[in-house]
Homo-oligomer: A and B are copies of this chain.
Amino acid sequence: MDAATQLPTVGMIGAGQLARMTHQAAIALGQSLKVLAGDPAESAAAVATATVLGDYRDLADLRAFAEGCTVVTFDHEHVPQDALHALAADGVDVQPRPEALLYAQDKQAMRTRLTELGLPQPRWAPVASLADVEAFGLPCVLKAATGGYDGKGVWMVDTPADAEPVLASGIRLIAEERMGLQRELAIQIARSPRGETAAYPVVETVQTGGICTEVIAPAPDLDDATAAEAKRIAETVATALGVCGMLAVELFQTAGGLFVNELAMRAHNSGHWTIEGAETSQFEQHLRAVLDYPLGSTATVAPCTVMANVLGGAPGGPRLDERLQHLLAEDPGAHVHLYGKAVRPGRKIGHVTVRGDDPGLLRRRALRAAHWLQEGE
């Protein structure tokens, strides 16, 4: 609690674009986000005054950071469990709690828990040897149980020869069946310690090379029964796992219904559309949830909102500033979010959001805008 403003201090471990956009939301709530960054040039560290430099794997750094925080939360799920438990034992209000966050850190633990809950998911098994993989059945997907993101830690395996180098890496793995998808969906839900939940509409996500490149909100042509099933899954996960803050449930839509793909317990790329497209952004909602404030309305602002990610383009071509001006001239209704990161090919450096009525038109606008920012005209 800040004595002058009479308002709380939220500490966020990690200083990427999620923390950067959370700082914008914190400002509106009268706060200034406190971030733990590895480097002062990180996305959020560049814009937030209360930046502490340190290593999120180091308990001493975490303890120093937590000092004075009303609550400590995350922009990634890479803080080790033992450090989280130590902080909680110190009396730090860590949200989500380590016991819940585990299921966003460890895919094997997540799959095991979802099996217990009877939630629909791809057939899966832990695997440690080629014999395990062959017993599971090829082709399949191998996933690192921990540490993966944006397509990293995921291997499409057709043959034993494909599987061998992955197994030889020594990484703890699970195998999952490859499902015939109609499309990928996601649903976000916020949950606060008092048990209040607030779900956003189901969205369609488009992945390119394992990276989310496009989100359409709400998911076009989604039938009511499937939307209700997605919400039931999200509420079950949030409540049964004791989630606090934002939860994103990535889903496969198949001819046989919905299956849970991944979980994230933080603001998520599939929710960036909420900044302009919903009454309450996922970033403000996460702050409200971890502070046990009442949650905000998740109603949509427009019939359709589309977000496209901007990836760093090939070196050369016009400067980002020039590309930005071309885009702004061409589409005065485009909402640009740049993350203040140095441009590297394939790196998420920003996103663009457009609102309107026609999903097809909005997708063309959003993709065109992202393309211009990425590669120039």
Contact = CB atoms under 8 A, between A and B. Distances in A.
Contacts of A31: 340
B49 A46 contact: yes
A60 interface: no
B29 A47 contact: no
A362 interface: no
A51 B49 CA distance: 9
A27 B21 CA distance: 8
A341 B30 CA distance: 8
Interface residues of A, number: 55
Nearest to A8: B321
Contact of A299 (B23, B47, B333): B333
Most buried by B among A26, A32, A301, A340: A340
A38 interface: no
Interface in A1-56: 1, 4-8, 20-21, 23-24, 26-32, 41, 45-49, 51
A295 interface: yes
Contacts of A335: 28, 279
A302 B8 CA distance: 32
16 contacts: A5-B342, A7-B324, A7-B338, A23-B27, A23-B47, A24-B24, A30-B350, A32-B46, A279-B335, A279-B355, A293-B324, A293-B325, A294-B325, A296-B332, A297-B332, A301-B355
